[in-house]
């Protein structure tokens, strides 16, 4: 087990180096000049551009810049400062990560509630009106882009019906004093309802289909028939025999999808103006701010590698065949 753990950690470090280096190379392969943003954009004058290039360290060769980045990360635990705003990137991540976490984990709860309830009901009543309606929902959920869904939700529930806010984020722990912005747990949940629903629709659609198929398959297993023959009540058969087995792959998939969902958060965050990691990345790309972009990539990489490592170790613990292989 110890050797397996060491192997996995070394592999995670290698992956981390590859991902961060590739991000660096891709950024510098595209023609751009982050110094220009500090000098008034299109207006940038030669003196200012020269000074800003030196200040950002962009006059140094690429491998040196990458080396400095790694040194700063490992020794100082610092992701550096933004090219565009001069803010500490650690601070940027610290502010943005909880917003994305709110969206992803809240969205995951929503899609699991929708997926489980609709999926199980569809499996129990196949080809019924509800089952067919669920399939229509699945089709729409898979086909429609989150930006479109977000704008429609925002317009219908926010602008027309005034049920929810049109956009913006409310801090769970309260708004800055004298800012006039909403804050606190109630406002936080109120502002997150539409983003959660938008975020959940795509995944809920996929989960409905998968849960329906798994439950229907499990319902035909021998042990379910045996339970029925023994006279077990239908509710007990469903919860103790069917769901326990049918949901095992769903739990596995949920663990993997949370990582994928981090990427999908970009669209939802952008429509609803949530200051999370996704929107931070978009802003960084638009501003040619490699430092911030690299910071988000590093953070997301570490988070995903960490969760993957935990999952791998859990698997190895549960199933000895994995660590032996």
Partner 1 sequence: MRRRLWLSVAMLVTGASLLVASSFASAAGNAGALKKGGIWKYGTTGASVQVDPQLAYITTAWWLEYATAAKLYNYPDKSGPAGSKLVPEVASHFTVTNGGKKYTFFIRKGFRFSDGSPVTANSFKYAINRTANHDLASPGAQFITDPTGTNIVGAKAVNDGNGTNVSGVQVKGNRLVVNLTKGDGTFMAKITMPFFQATSTKLPLDKEVVNVNGNNMPAAGPYYMSRNDVNQLTSLRQNKYWKPGPGRTRPRNLTGIDVQWNLNEQTAFQQTKDNQLDEGPLPAAEVQGVASQYGVNKTRFFTKPVNCTGYLPMNTANNLFGKNLQLRQAVNYAISRPPYVQQAGPYAGQPWTHLFNPGVPGWRNVTLYKKNLTKAKQLASGHMKDGKITVYYRSSGSTNPNQAQIVRQDLINLGFSSGNITMKGFSGGNIYDAMGKRGNDADIGVSMGWCSDYPDPYDWINILLYGPSIQDENNVNYSYFNNPRWNKRMENAAKLVGPKRLKVYGQMDIDIMKKAAPMAIERTYNNRYFFSDRVNPKGLVYQGIYQDWSIPAMALK
Residue 115 or 278: the one with the smaller Cβ distance to partner 1 is 278
Nearest to 73 by CA among 123, 17, 126, 11: 17
Asked if 188 and 102 count as a contact pair (C-beta separation under 8 A), the reply is yes
Query: Residue 244: CA atoms inside 13 Å, Cβ hemisphere, count?
Result: 9
Instruction: Report the distance separating Cα 31 and Cα 235, nearest Å.
Output: 63
CB of 301 to partner 1, least distance (A): 22
Instruction: Report the distance separating Cα 92 and Cα 194, nearest Å.
Output: 24
Instruction: Report the distance separating Cα 147 and Cα 159, nearest Å.
Output: 16
Query: Residue 215: CA atoms inside 13 Å, Cβ hemisphere, count?
Result: 23
Q: How far is CA 200 from CA 18, 172, 205, 229, in A?
A: 31, 20, 8, 39
CB of 274 to partner 1, least distance (A): 10
CB of 48 to partner 1, least distance (A): 4
Residue 95 or 308: the one with the smaller Cβ distance to partner 1 is 95
CB of 171 to partner 1, least distance (A): 10
Residue 20 or 92: the one with the smaller Cβ distance to partner 1 is 92
Residue 188 or 207: the one with the smaller Cβ distance to partner 1 is 188
What is the C-alpha radius of gyration for the chain, rounded to an integer number of angstroms? 24
Which parts of this chain interact with partner 1 (CB under 8 A)?
A: 30-33, 36, 38-52, 54-55, 82, 84-88, 91-92, 95, 151, 154-155, 158-159, 166-168, 176, 178-181, 270-273, 275, 279-280, 283, 286-288
Residue 38 or 304: the one with the smaller Cβ distance to partner 1 is 38
Instruction: Report the distance separating Cα 182 and Cα 179, nearest Å.
Output: 9
Nearest to 116 by CA among 209, 219, 9, 190: 209
H/E segment holding residue 205: helix 185-219
Residue 21 or 157: the one with the smaller Cβ distance to partner 1 is 157
């Amino acid at each position: 087990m110890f050797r397996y753990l060491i192997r996995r950690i070394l592999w995670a470090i290698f992956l981390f180096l590859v991902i961060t280096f590739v991000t660096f190379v891709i950024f510098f392969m595209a023609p751009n000049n982050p110094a220009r943003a500090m000098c008034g954009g299109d207006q940038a004058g030669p003196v200012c551009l020269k000074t800003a290039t030196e200040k950002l360290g962009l006059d140094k060769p690429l491998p040196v810049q990458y080396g400095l980045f790694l040194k700063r990360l490992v020794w100082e635990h610092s992701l550096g400062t933004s090219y565009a705003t001069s803010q500490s990137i650690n601070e940027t991540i610290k502010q943005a990560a909880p917003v994305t976490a709110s969206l992803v984990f809240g969205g995951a709860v929503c899609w699991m509630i929708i997926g489980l309830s609709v999926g199980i009901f569809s499996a129990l009543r196949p080809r019924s009106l509800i089952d067919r309606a669920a399939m229509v929902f699945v089709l729409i959920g898979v086909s429609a882009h989150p930006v479109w869904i977000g704008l429609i939700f925002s317009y219908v529930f926010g602008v027309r019906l005034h049920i929810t806010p049109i956009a913006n984020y409310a801090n769970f722990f309260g708004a800055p004093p004298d800012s006039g912005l909403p804050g606190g747990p109630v406002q936080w949940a109120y502002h997150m309802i539409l983003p959660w629903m938008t975020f959940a629709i795509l995944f809920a659609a996929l989960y409905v289909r998968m849960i329906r198929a798994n439950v229907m398959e499990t319902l035909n297993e021998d042990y379910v028939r045996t339970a029925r023959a023994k006279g077990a009540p239908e509710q007990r058969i469903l919860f103790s025999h069917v769901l326990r087995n049918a949901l095992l792959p769903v739990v596995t998939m949920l663990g993997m999808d949370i990582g994928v969902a981090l990427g999908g958060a970009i669209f939802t965050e952008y429509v609803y103006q949530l200051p999370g990691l996704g929107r931070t990345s978009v802003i960084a790309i638009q501003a040619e701010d490699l430092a911030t972009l690299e910071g988000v990539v590093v953070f997301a990489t570490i988070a995903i590698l960490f969760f993957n490592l935990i999952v791998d170790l859990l698997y190895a613990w549960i199933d000895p065949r994995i660590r032996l292989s």
